[in-house]
Every structure is written in structure tokens, then in C-alpha cells.
Amino acid sequence: MKIDLSFTPSESGLMKLTGKRVVVIDVLRACSTMIHALARGCKDIYPCATVGDARRLFRQKVNELSRDAVLLGGERGGTKVKGFHLGNSPGEYSTGVVGGKTIVFTTSNCTRNLAFIKGKGAKEVLICSFTNLPAVAERLAGDDTDLLLSLSGTDGQMSLEDAVCGGMLVDALRKRPGIVLSDSARTAYILYANYRRNIRRALLDSTHGKRLLELGFRDDISSCSRVGRYRLIPTYVRGRVAVARA
């Protein structure tokens, strides 16, 4: 199995994804928030690249389902978009708020990353952050399909916390027979090795982590650094993020 890694969405956009497994990572905060929402009983999530797309899809989903069944969530510049029901803090997505609901969701980087990947023939697209990483690693270990770790980054640049998360996945898989690491996957592993004893530190050291602290989202940093809090693995299939439930 070859493990490749892209540090930014535009790199993923240039790569051939046909037949590969893709793991989309956005530690702060979109993947962590989607995982949390699904763990709290949300039915499904429709990521949209732009605020305009999200508003349009929200109206469509309200017509298909009902007004009570759909919520609009997401951020720009880290804070809730005007008129949206929810921002991008995991804690907002409690069972009482999102249980049984469909969420139409847009964020600055991660949902754009998903839009780049959509329709490019990947065998499977998984959603990952620290909070479900051990479960994702176990799932990946059972299959030899080539892998792309697609990091969402921040404003078109690589972000430290996503790189450390990607590196942790590389570490979980690297000793298996037949693993070949790209230079970028190896680089992420080296970054992870630097933070392995204090994952929260990586989030606090990162540019986006500092920005979230300035905005008052300290609880989000703690929530997003809880490794292995959840066992669930959301997949992204035809524009929809959901968990296959038994």
C-alpha cells in the first residue's frame, strides 16, 4: 500500500484519486464537528463549498423533508455565518439540537476540500480527526488499497494540526508489510513524532489554533484534541456525510 499525503485542498485537486481510499482530515474544526454531530445522533451532513450553495441546498432539503428536519451550520472567519442555526464548534451540536436532523454545512477549508474530491473516482472517502483516529487506523489496516491523506489546511496553506493528525495515521500504519510512504507522508510522520506526547500542544501552537483562542473557542481546542473519543467513521458518498449504522 502506498500512503500519500496532500497538505492542502488544491494539491488533492491535482491528484489522481481513481480507485484510491481518501481520508479527509480537518482537526480544527470541521471534521471534528461532523464526527461529534454524528455521534450525537445527527442523521446526515451535506457539505457545501460556498455559503450560497449551502443556502440553496438548505431550501431544497426543507422542501424535500420539512423545516424542522434541516439545520444550516458552518463558519466563515471562524464564526457562525449570519442567519445560520449553528457555527462550527463541536459543542453546539448536542443531541437535543441535532438528533435525527439533516445538516447542510459549509466551512472555509474542509468543505472546499470535499468539493475538490467529489466525483473523482475515489474508492472510499473517510472523515477523520483526532477524535476518531484509532478507529480509522484500524479500518485502513484491513485493506491494501493505496491511500491519500487529504489535509484541509488553512486558507490554502498547510496547517500544523492537520499535519500532526496525518502523521499519527501514518505512524499507525507504517510498520505493516508492503507500506511505501511518499515524502509528504514521511514529513507528516516526523512532525507527529515531535508532538506525540502532547497532541493538544500541536493545536495550541498552530496558527489556526491561536486564531480560535483569540475568538474565544478554547473549549473547541480541548474537544478537538481528544484522541479516540469516538469509534465512528463517517464516509462521504455522493455529496453526503453519514455513518453506516448496523
List interacting residues with ligand MLT (CB under 6 A). Answer: 26, 28-30, 75, 78, 88, 107-110, 152
CA distance 245 to 159: 32
CB of 10 to ligand MLT, least distance (A): 14
Helix, strand, coil in percent for the chain, rounding step 5:
45, 20, 35
CB of 216 to ligand MLT, least distance (A): 13
Cβ distance to ligand MLT smaller for residue 131 or 189: 131
Cβ distance to ligand MLT smaller for residue 81 or 181: 81
CB of 211 to ligand MLT, least distance (A): 8
DSSP letters along 49-111, please? SSHHHHHHHHHHHHHHS-GGGEEEEEEETTEEPTT-SB-S-GGG--HHHHTT-EEEEE-SSHH
Cβ distance to ligand MLT smaller for residue 30 or 241: 30
Cβ distance to ligand MLT smaller for residue 30 or 202: 30
CB of 112 to ligand MLT, least distance (A): 8
Task: Name the CA radius of gyration of the chain, rounded.
Answer: 17
The full length of the chain comes to 246
Cβ distance to ligand MLT smaller for residue 29 or 36: 29
CB of 181 to ligand MLT, least distance (A): 26
Pair 122, 21: CB distance under 8 Å: yes
- The label of the residue with cell 453546539 reads 92
